[in-house]
Amino acid sequence: MEGLPLYLYYGLFLLLSLHGLHRALLVRRIAAQKLHGPDPEPSPNTEPGTEPMVTVQLPLFNERYVADRLLVAVARFDWPKDRLEIQVLDDSTDDTTRIVARKVHDLRGEGFDVHHIRRPDRHGFKAGALAFGLAGDEHHPPAKGEFVAVFDADFLPEPDFLRRAIPPLVRDPQLAVVQGRWAHLNREHSLLTRVQAVCLDAHFGVEHAARQAAGHFLNFNGTAGVWRRTAIAEAGGWSHDTLTEDLDLSFRSQMTGSRFRYLHDLGVPSELPVEMNAFKSQQYRWVKGAIETAGKLLVPLLRHKGLRLSTRLEGAFHLTNNVAYVLILLVSCLSVPVATLRGTDLDPRVTGWVDLYLISLGILPVAAYFLLGQLRVGRGFWRSVLVLPATLAIGIGLSLNNARAVVSALLGRRSPFVRTPKYRVDTAHDSWIGKDYLASKELWSVLEVALGTWVAVAVIRALSAGNWSMAAYLTLFGSGFLYVGLASLLPAFAERVRAVIVRVTAKVDPRHHNPLT
């Protein structure tokens, strides 16, 4: 029994190596293709005078910093006004509603068919809002569009977006969705935004592209894409029984025989979360929603006789790959007893070879996946390599947050849809400090710091025993947990400092306005 932690530790790493092998397969499929080439079968622009009716849906909830910017971007679309309908699906409870109402009034004066839609309540959250806009009610007509484009509040589509996204849908009646790639307005704002950009670039440039090349299922990413209206209805419509309504509808649609198209060259700028708790909230929702979708659709998917076995297996991995976060968390918890056992009972030369094998299977393929994603969007090789350690570390550091999401989904616990706050932070000089929508769960953040400290103890024990390879990869684990935990505690600390400054300033000069507000 004394060796049980060691057996569990390496068993978990072997399971994690399956995740790495899957990433290696994705990389292998894409690496043989041109990194910067155009999308296959480039689509010509829609001819003037032949444009179909398009409804643009903009679901909003408390987006005072970015709502106006989004409406301005959509109003610049190169599309006839009489063939364009704009629905602002506004569930806000703050002054976002006033900002939107003013802008909608201005756009109507410019001849746009734009509707400011307010529901009686937030039933169904984003999925409910999208479904409400399509169906209409006694106060609002149903959506008019043959095609439906969706943009979240932090996106800034280019004027030619519809000109590039609509033609494939017009040409191919079996095509249900055209998905654009997320680009990044504030990639260089901080280390956190750089890491997020690396992860998203790999998701789109490697995962989407590889799955498309193999004929496997893709997913609509909730924004920066266009749906065929009839495909939504044929798949059963928007559903709010998972936190990832986009993934759920995507799989249901493709299980009916529809096809999706990813356009790598169709980049749509968006704002990355600039504050750790906002990022963690987004990750929690995505991870939990994917596991909820797996619980709903995994068995029907695997039993679907009309799909190739490879497509069913890839879809299963797509829905369940977030279970890896639970494995990473368990490995981290076992790090100290394993480092202790290896320092007393095992030959470092033997365990070093085992470590090298597991690193080669579990870590290097993931690093290659991130690197290829950067090359696919035209980033320099060495610049991309330098950010890889931080990307791997922060990904590991998120495992407590994301493992909680996996467990919550497996236990069937329902959660409200918590949207990711946006702050209109575009440069390194902009700040989220003093702005609304901040949230901090200090207890879990303290546990992340504690876990980082725990792994640091394992690193020290591994170094003292000469287990250099173990110390090397555990340094990624420990630094990741410490960074995520400390960055999560920063908002609460910053707000307390800000409150002190406000009180001191008020005492010195009651007429003086706080410069941080």
**246 part of the active site:** yes
* Chain centroid offset of residue 271 CA: 12
The H or E element that residue 181 is part of is: strand 175-184
Q: Which pLDDT belongs to residue 466?
A: 87
Q: Which pLDDT belongs to residue 260?
A: 98
- Other Cβ atoms closer than 10 A to 124: 19
Catalytic entry in 90, 91, 201, 248: 91
CA distance 287 to 129: 22
CA distance 1 to 32: 48
**154 part of the active site:** no
- Two tokens, residue 58: 């903009």
Q: Which pLDDT belongs to residue 173?
A: 95
Q: List every span in the chain annotated with CATH 3.90.550.10.
A: 54-272
Q: Which pLDDT belongs to residue 428?
A: 47
Q: In what order do the strands lie in the sheet with 259-270?
A: 113-117, 84-90, 54-60, 147-150, 225-228, 175-184, 259-270
Catalytic entry in 90, 152, 154, 246: 246
What's the CATH number for 54-272?
3.90.550.10
> Of 447, 450, 449, nearest to 482 (Cα)?
449
Regions of the chain short of the pLDDT cut 70: 1-2, 33-47, 345-350, 421-441, 493-517
